Structure 1
């Protein structure tokens, strides 16, 4: 028993070390990450990823659900979750296409019961947004004399924001068949967003070109809260059903940032140009990165140890956020709907492995917070997944989770880019009694 605990501790330590190294590698190759704070990452963990990202009404005693902090009150055993995602991305502007591929650590999270069946706690780390783009375009400008000038624009950016959260939830018994839970997360949002823009006069080699480098760094707190009401029904066959209704609210906040802005002119080509004059040099000036408020509601209905159906709706008030570049893009209210279905043929069929597999399917649709060239940048995704149970002797790892998502973002209209993506998610859930005193060891 002691050896098994030691092995589990070593595995958990390895995952933490890998995660701390790997979060710096998280990236994207989406041109839409140029706008705002980048491409927003889903907060769906292993199980919810394959359920279309739904989970505001989801509760589990052995897995973690960041989508609604009220769910922590259901945790009955120390739980560690770790996930990695591979993003395959096809970009097209209608005339040419490009393929990009990135793998990154999706999350690491811990949860444990403080008072079993009453008070649960969770903390973890995950990407909040990612920035990663490198592209160029050309505008031909006519002069009064009839000549034309080619303006070549080169855009490059990287970075993004991460999130470290700490949450607690309490459960209160209403009667023998119903209860209500309340939860809250305090989160540290931190990271930096880097942008590099060059404007080069293509057919005027004697002209001075422009080079702008900006950086915004942030480290500040935000908060979200959730509630879940659960009602249990038992039919004449002694089959148990649970109905859970959940709601969440995320606070809108102005996060303090340090902003740097350097603008120079240079002569020569883009790779080996010679710096000339410095037009602007601002170093770590106080600024803000504004995050919007969000409201969500969801429902989950399950036949215990058989199937679960989930549906969520969320709306995010991006239209209330100030836009620093309204001539390039606009913010608007964002809406999303997520749904999923999980099925296990026979959870206690220990002589038939395939009947103990959890099969998952889901879908999501989201109206993005961006409008570019009067076009809405919407996206959708279809998900599939499996949870493969481990042998009974490996009880510390109850299952390996696999999820696959196919989706699309954007459009080729109005000179924009359409993105088609396939996300593959792999997750490990570890359950053990690391912080629970045993009667026997």
Structure 2
């Protein structure tokens, strides 16, 4: 009965994956190649994004060095439901979205090696903005900006325990996707509007390298350290730009009157490369095995090296960024036979990030808190629930402040594979 229930939950989550195309409503996804998505499981997100902890019964898709300790095959899938409050100096709005977060499989390759592969979103674009004003003659002019798409990644990771205390790992990612941006310019008294369409098809590779150190102390206490490094990489972009005059009906539909394609080849913009900055993450944590753990991480990214030659936006620049994460978990008694609630793992965390993006001379920051539960079901499998509360951006300089609430749900199915049968 429990297995049937878990399979049903898995298919429901896969349904979310199939239907949740608009995975963000953030106005800040207008910039760069969209809003950066979190790259970990629900367990990690509920701890503020903490990635250094190696767990033998939980898949870590952020830190490949942690895979060396994986003892069981772990199938993981997750999705999010978000509500976004948008605030300016003049008004408040709200938006909702649902998104697929990851689907991943991890498994041990012997006693000291583990591997994982899966699919997860990397960035997401989904915005609808409008700028309206009157010209010198009193005619209303409206410029509408809309965008959709994003970048996904297929990853493969391998981790290996060199010694009982030292592990290494490497992750390879193939990034792919497309982004479409539309600009509609309308002028009062003019029947036809002008539309600009920009589309990019993106693809490229990047890698991550990781080193973990774990020292077992007296009375089952453990000290864990981690270093992760992602070198600078590039993504190839095949670009298209077209202009049209359109008739816009009252219901919002458009009828094209005339159109032509821009000659991007003569400008050297038909095929471009976007530079993705290097990232370095260091972390340290302390806890008691199977009981509790608390850790902190620092991340530095050379975002000043980011570039997108195809689309440039005035008033926007990028600087090197940094971020801080603090989080942990507590399990009252993981092997309790008398109390289900003592076997639940309780998680909490917080994060603060300088995104590296500067708009109208204002630094865009993101900070928030997270809470979560890992509910044991069907032996070692778990249903993971979590919430995030946070804020991104500012109302200064005519910008938008986002107050977000995310509800996350994930499923982790564990089993033992590749075990040689003792009986025929």
Per the normalisation by structure 2, the TM-score is 0.91
| 2:60 is the alignment partner of 1:65 | yes
2:34 paired residue number? 38
Q: Distance in 2 between matches of 1:344 and 1:386?
A: 10
Structure 1 SS opposite 2:141: strand
1:21 paired residue number: 18
Map 1:319-358; keep pairs closer than 5 Å. Answer: 319-323=304-308, 324-325=311-312, 327-358=314-345
Q: Does 1:425 align with 2:408?
A: yes
Deviation of 1:332 after TM superposition, in Å, equals: 1.5
2:104 maps to which residue?
A: 109
Instruction: Give deviations 1:359-385, integer Å, cap 9, x for gaps.
Output: 111100011121111111111110111
Maintained 8 Å contact 1:135/1:154: yes
Aligned alpha-carbon RMSD (Å)? 2.6
- Residue 280 of structure 1 aligns with which residue? 262
Counterparts of 1:77-226 in structure 2 under 5 Å?
Answer: 77-116=72-111, 118-142=112-136, 147-173=137-163, 178-202=164-188, 204-205=189-190, 209-226=193-210
1:317-336 CA-partner distances (Å, limit 9, x unpaired) = 11012254252311121211
Deviations 1:222-255 (A, max 9, x none): 1111110111112xxxx20111110111121111
Question: Could you tell me how far 1:140 is from its partner in structure 2?
Answer: 3.6
Query: Do the aligned partners of residues 432 and 440 (structure 1) sit closer, same or farther apart at CA in structure 2, a change above 3 Å counting?
Result: farther
CA distance in 1, matches of 2:307, 2:301: 14
Contact 1:159 1:191 survives alignment (8 Å): yes
Matched, 1:245 2:231: no
Q: Which residue of 2 aligns with 1:75?
A: 70
Contact 2:77 2:102 in 1 (8 A): yes
CA distance in 2, matches of 1:265, 1:69: 51
Structure 1, unpaired ranges of 5+:
none
2:22 and 2:126 in contact (8 A); partners too:
no
| 3-state SS of 1:71 partner | helix
What is aligned with 1:294?
Answer: 279
1:369 alignment partner, SS class: strand
Q: Map Cα deviations across residues 270-295 of structure 1 (whole Å, 9 max, x no partner).
A: 75465245372559932223211111
Q: Does 1:439 align with 2:422?
A: yes
Distance in 1 between residues matched to 2:105 and 2:255, nearest whole Å = 50
For structure 2, the 5+ residue unaligned runs are none
Equivalent residues, number: 417
What is the distance in 1 between the residues matched to 2:2 and 2:331? 28
SS at match of 1:378: strand
Query: Post-superposition shift, 1:296?
Result: 0.6
Evaluate the alpha carbon distance shift between residue 340 and residue 268 of structure 1 in structure 2; reply closer, same or farther with a 3 A threshold: closer
CA displacement at 1:356 relative to structure 2: 1.7
Correspondence for 1:410: 393
Does the CA contact (< 8 Å) of 2:246 and 2:257 recur in 1?
yes
- 1:257 aligns to 2:252 (yes or no): no
Structure 1 residues 306, 387: closer, same or farther in 2, change over 3 A? same
Q: Deviations over 1:193-229 (max 9, x none)?
A: 1100011222x426x6421001111122111111101
Deviating beyond 6 angstroms after TM superposition, the runs of 4 or more aligned structure 1 residues are 7-13, 267-270
**Structure 1: distance between partners of 2:260 and 2:315:** 25
Aligned counterparts of 1:243 and 1:360: Cα–Cα separation in 2: 19
Contact 1:370 1:376 in 2 (8 A): yes
The question of whether the paired residues in 2 share the 8 Å contact of 1:265 and 1:279 is answered with no
TM-score when scaled to structure 1? 0.88
